[in-house]
Chain A
Amino acid sequence: MSLGTINIVGAGILGLWQAYTLSKAGFFIRLFERSDEPFQTASSRLAGAMLAPYCESEASQKDFIPFAERSMVLWQDSPFEISQNGTLVVAPQRDKAELTAFAKRTISHRLIQSDEIAELEPDLKGQFQQALYFEGEGHLAPRPLMAKMLAQIQKAGAEIQFGWDAELPEADVTIDTSGMAAAKRLQKLQRNLRPVRGEMAVVRLEEVQLKRPVRMLHPRMPCYIVPWPDHHYMIGATVIESDDSGPVSVRAGLELLGAAYTVHPAFGEAKIIELNAGVRPSLSDNLPKVIVDEGTIYVNGAFRHGFLMAPLLAQIVADYVKGGQEIEDYFQ
């Protein structure tokens, strides 16, 4: 028997994890998505989808790590396959001070030399003298994973509605994970949701085979390259305070593709599959929040941390809805 009916608005990574966790907990789930096709407008489809609690702590408060670690465990315990090959952080020789600075601001890494870099990533042999290796991190390919989650949720008996722009039907609880679409409603709750533009590229390259995300530090244009299935690489991402979700600028394109070329010159021969831009829904501390307003629970503001934090955010909401467990201060 169902514990109750829950409406979930938004089928990005936050909404999918909510639907998955709550249907597993015994609720009847109705998932509503504005776009006609899955993931058309979700920021998540453009995500780097790195599960990197330690690298990401460089730009977050230190207390971010234990929460991110808890969320990592939920990923590991889930039926969804993630790659756990760690992260490699490199810097061009002339910017090697960036590597020292990054090491100082993060934990759970070790400095490795060119021979070990070559062992981990044979194709990067001779490219970098030193790197930081974050062994406990992982990554995934967002689009196939989201499709798998959607199928799983459907199999569990959830109702899924695409192209939805009508009133929501009655439910015991509504969970709103609609990102920037919720900005006006959050404004009324004194939460200022702002868009942060990100630009990314997808290229195809057979010559280089990377097993893990490579982050390249640079004073102006830090970037990362994430291996996706079928010889694809995702190259990301700019971070610009802007509500512009329009096409990628030439400058950003040059910088992203140029950075990949710096990681390995073979990227010069890669084929550009996609250049894309979107906005990340972000709150003033750039950390995700769970905001309860009567019958509606807003899960929003994931900024760069949607994939990393989605499982924990779902767990927190499930504990609240099911057992009345208080939402931890950190997420309020």
Chain B
Amino acid sequence: MTIETPDKQQSSRFQLYDTNLHSRLILGSALYPSPDSLSGAVKASGAEIVTISLRRETAGRSAAKDFWQHIQKLGVKLLPNTAGCRTAKEAITTAQMARELFGTSWVKLEVIANDDTLQPDLFGLVEATKELSEQGFQVFPYTTEDLGAAEKLLTAGAEVLMPWGAPIGTGRGLMNPYALKTMRSYFPDTALIVDAGIGAPSHAAQAMEMGYDAILLNTAVAKAGDPVAMARAFKLAVEAGHLAFQALMIEERDMASPSTPVAGTPFFDLEKLD
């Protein structure tokens, strides 16, 4: 008998826009104790995409070029984000600056409605997605699990959606697993990435088990006691979750179901017979 091992790389390959990728973990580059710990975490995570934020107030200058060069040296694909933007207009301007600076048409689009929850402003998000898609950007909108908004984002030109697990930085995991499952079933062919709110590797595994294409996180690794070790923990969790999804998990049952059939077992319930 031969045991078939699926070609690991073949089976886990996926696409975001036209880019082929293996790693299903995307890391943010903010909040690390030092550039060295960021590089260590990126390497340990196996991430092929790293998000990078552009502060509008310093974007016009050479500004953070040392830091950006440090990230570029890691040989990963950059996903510039519009973190902290409060209006569609601001986000569009930031995206344009990022395209010029980093030479990529990818943009993680954040339009933030509220400073306390950092929840996406869905109206501004749809507006900015439409405008940026028309300008040739490949937009990764940070959204909620709202299906109506999701459809509008796809119509506006997005090919990837990034629903939140929980508000940014809270580390609370998947607050609404039901809605995330529904979203996955509703858009079976769209690349879906859970972005924000992940705290523990098990949260990431849970989203991957649902069939999400990838996980984007930052704080959970950057603010961990040992970011490099935590990055590896997330790498393993994301792989485990995805492998579990591919392997088709059993359904939950109400009644116990023995893993070893008992009927016909010799000496079964012998004590009772005494």
Contact = CB atoms under 8 A, between A and B. Distances in A.
Interface of A: 59-61, 101, 104-105, 192, 194-195, 197, 219, 240-244, 249, 251, 284-287
A243 B63 contact: yes
Nearest to B29: A241
Contacts of B62: 243
Interface of B: 33-37, 39, 55, 57-58, 61-67, 70, 169, 223, 225
A138 B127 CA distance: 52
A242 B63 contact: yes
Contacts of A242: 55, 58, 61, 63-64
Contact of B33 (A60, A101, A241, A244): A60
Contacts of A194: 35, 66-67, 70
Contacts of B65: 243
B66 A240 contact: no
Contacts of A251: 57
B64 to A, nearest CB: 4
Contacts of A286: 33-36
Contacts of B36: 284-286
B66 A192 contact: yes
A241 B66 contact: yes
A249 B84 CA distance: 15
A174 B58 CA distance: 36
Chain A interface SS verdict (over half): loop
Contact of B58 (A60, A105, A244, A287): A244
A243 B70 CA distance: 14
5 contacts: A101-B223, A192-B66, A194-B70, A195-B66, A284-B34
Nearest to A303: B34
B61 A243 contact: yes
Contact of B63 (A219, A244, A285): A244
A104 B226 CA distance: 12
Nearest to A251: B57
A286 B57 CA distance: 24
Contact of B55 (A192, A240, A284): A240
A59 B35 CA distance: 12
A254 B273 CA distance: 81
